Amino acid sequence: LCESMLWKHWAGYYAVRSYEKSHEREYFAFRHSAGLMDVTPLYKYEVHGPDAGPFLARVLSKDVRTLREGRVTYLCWCDDDGKIMDDGTVSRMEENRYRITAAEPSYAWFARHARGYDVTIEDTTERFGILALQGPTSRAILEDATDADLGKVRFFSFKQTKLGDKSVTISRTGYTGDLGYEVWCEAGDALPVWDGLIAAGARHRIVPAGLDALDVARIEAGFIMNGVDYHSANRCFVESRKSSPFEVGLGWTVKTDRDPFIGQKALVREERKGSPFALAGLVYDWDEYEAAFAAKDLPPSVDGAAWRTPVPVYDRDGQQVGYATSGAWSPILKRNLALATVDRRHAKVGTRLEIEVTVEFERQRVGVTVEKTPFFDPERKRA
């Protein structure tokens, strides 16, 4: 199936970067039909027991006791200094049972803080497979493949049903910023579930998709990535590399006015005082970008793949005010985009800044403008 033979190491798995030599068809499937990708390497945990709610309220940035059964929320968890350990989703499966997804292995951290609580924490990473079906025709495909009425499954909620003879949980979540679902199943059922989705999606132009297409889509959606746009606090040896939720655009996931939780004091302080940095969406000035290459008798460089190498960002006086952490050419918006961490005084929408580019081995600066994220936000995502 993977004709490109392009693979990437992800949490102990080899994940497909692109099934074809170029990821472009896979990207456009996310935006015009549907792409199916295997996101099983995500770390997965289940927390259950009489104290499941109070325990999670203690360690997470939101009080998930307010989450209704059948609903999902996005949040993060922090260390005592209010610096992010990881971000992920929490689903309330039953009154006292929750499911967590994470980018980093977090079992030991959760277990360490569970002392004194009547809870059981299970690492279910290898028990479940997750297939992400993302794109405008994803709902039609799932309705053809199952008996579920997905019109009633709201954004950030889930439904348990059958796909053929396999039990699945269909969660209306994803990482592309488009209409999409994540299909959970027992790991041993993942292959027949994949085949069932491919068969049902044939008339809906389904395409197997890899990580390269996802990376472009998530930048368009303004979604940050652990290990790229910020780094887990427990992996940072230098204090300045750590980030708070407010500095990376996740302040909205933090609810400080509630019972004590880990990092609360530091986060309350920062919420009142303000953060030194903020997440900014940057759009390149195309005329300046093109002119920089034209001066070397070259066409402008438009790389189809997303980049993840930090790049300095400056104010118009040439003073560095931050750095871009990832970026991509957006095929659907026809714009060069970047996500950046900048001095909060320069993060206001409409602010003109400069970003470093390399033209014929020479570093230059071209103009960028701070724009609101997400860059791409179709109504169908929430409809």
First-to-last C-alpha distance (Å) of the chain: 33
Of the three residues 194, 209, 224, the one that is the final residue of a domain is 209
Residues 292 and 201 in one domain: no
In terms of residue numbers, what domain contains 199?
A: 6-42+126-209
Q: How many domains does the chain have?
A: 2
Task: Name the pTM for this structure.
Answer: 0.96
> What three-state secondary structure class fits 360?
coil
Is the bond leading into 374 cis (omega within 30 degrees of zero)? Answer: yes
Cα–Cα distance measured from residue 283 to residue 328, given in angstroms and rounded to the nearest whole number = 10
Question: Which SS3 state, helix, strand or coil, does residue 188 take?
Answer: helix
What letter would DSSP give residue 181?
E
Distance CA 350, CA 282 (A): 10
Decide if 331 is inside a domain. Answer: yes
DSSP secondary structure, 261-319, as one string: -TTHHHHHHHHHH--SEEEEEEEE-HHHHHHHHHTTT-PPP--SS-B-S-EEEE-TTS-
Do 109 and 6 meet the contact criterion of CB atoms below 8 Å apart? no
Buried residues in 9-41 as b, exposed as e (16+ CB within 10 A)? ebeeeebbbbbbeebebbbbbbbebbbbbbbbb
Q: What pLDDT does 109 receive? A: 96
- Residue 371 domain-assigned? yes
Tell me which amino acid residue 180 is.
G
Q: Tokens 């560095």 identify what position?
A: 320
CATH number, domain of 176, equals: 3.30.1360.120
> pLDDT by residue for the chain (383 residues), tens digit each?
999 999 999 999 999 999 999 999 999 999 999 999 999 999 999 999 999 999 999 999 999 999 999 999 999 999 999 999 999 999 999 999 999 999 999 999 999 999 999 999 999 999 999 999 999 999 999 999 999 999 999 999 999 999 999 999 999 999 999 999 999 999 999 999 999 999 999 999 999 999 999 999 999 999 999 999 999 999 999 999 999 999 999 999 999 999 999 999 999 999 999 999 999 999 999 999 999 999 999 999 998 899 999 999 999 999 999 999 999 999 999 999 999 999 999 999 999 999 999 999 999 999 999 999 999 999 999 98
Asked if residue 172 and residue 30 are part of one domain, the reply reads yes
197 lies in the same domain as 315: no
Are β-strands 158-163 and 128-134 bridged in parallel, bridged antiparallel, or unpaired? unpaired
Same domain membership, residue 310 and residue 191: no
Q: How far apart are alpha carbons 365 and 381 in whole angstroms?
A: 35
Neighbours of 220 (CB within 10 A): 27
Are 280 and 342 within 8 A, CB to CB? yes
- Is residue 15 in some structural domain? yes
> 3-class DSSP state for residue 74?
strand
Alpha helix (H) ranges present in the chain? 24-32, 52-59, 107-112, 138-145, 190-201, 211-220, 264-273, 286-294
Give the integer Cα–Cα distance in Å for 9 and 4.
15
Report the run of H or E that residue 226 belongs to, with start and end.
none
Query: Does residue 248 form part of some domain?
Result: no
Domain match, 374 and 286 both: yes
CATH number, domain with residue 312: 2.40.30.110
* CB-based contact 292:366 (threshold 8 Å): yes
Regarding whether 131 and 35 lie in a shared domain, the answer is yes
Based on the domain organization, do 195 and 300 belong to the same domain? no
Q: In whole angstroms, what is the distance from residue 115 CA to residue 117 CA?
A: 6
**Which residue type occupies 378?**
P
**Cα gap 281→338, rounded to integer Å:** 6
DSSP 8-state symbol, 68: P
